Amino acid sequence: MEFYKRIDASYYGYRDDEDGILEKLEGPAEKRMRATALEDWMEMKKIKKEARRAVKSGDVKDMGNVSNILFEEADVLEEKRMKDKEREENEKENEFVAHVPPPDQKEIGKMVLENRKKDIFDKYTRNALQKKITEEKILLNIQR
């Protein structure tokens, strides 16, 4: 128990970024990742813009490729919506609701103390005497 008193957020790695080392290591990598993501996004934006322009103009030779791009985009969005909906339904099914509040520290201490008293009582009394005492408590309606 003494060991657990010294555990804080740094033990779990929540303070790793306070010394600045991670920032120096991850900074350039993050910039590269952001640049490639931005380039990919700009390329997709350009393709979509050309596809919409071709659809509006009715250009026959590009219609097959353009419509495929637009339909693929719609399919990806629909799949994402379906996955999100399934995930939300699964979370609702797996949600646990406690109808009885958990005991607090005082109640737990009281239960432990009662169990210790009962163990000591059982250890030092004979079964007949214990049975007689239990019967008397029942007759007198005394709670233990």
Q: What is the pLDDT of residues 64-113, one digit of tens each?
A: 555 566 666 667 777 888 888 888 888 777 776 667 778 889 999 999 99
Predicted model pTM: 0.34
- In which residue are the tokens 């979509």 written? 48
Residues whose CB falls within 8 Å of the CB of residue 50, separated by 6 or more in sequence, listed in order? 66
Q: What is the pLDDT of residue 31?
A: 92
Amino acid at position 19, single letter: D
| SS3 at position 20 | coil
Average pLDDT on 17-25 reads 78
Q: What is the pLDDT of residue 65?
A: 56
Q: What is the pLDDT of residue 60?
A: 46
Would the pLDDT of 1 be above 70?
no
The string of pLDDT tens digits covering residues 23-63 is 888 888 899 999 999 998 898 888 888 877 777 776 645 55
The string of pLDDT tens digits covering residues 121-131 is 777 777 777 78
CA dist., res. 66 & res. 75, Å (int): 14
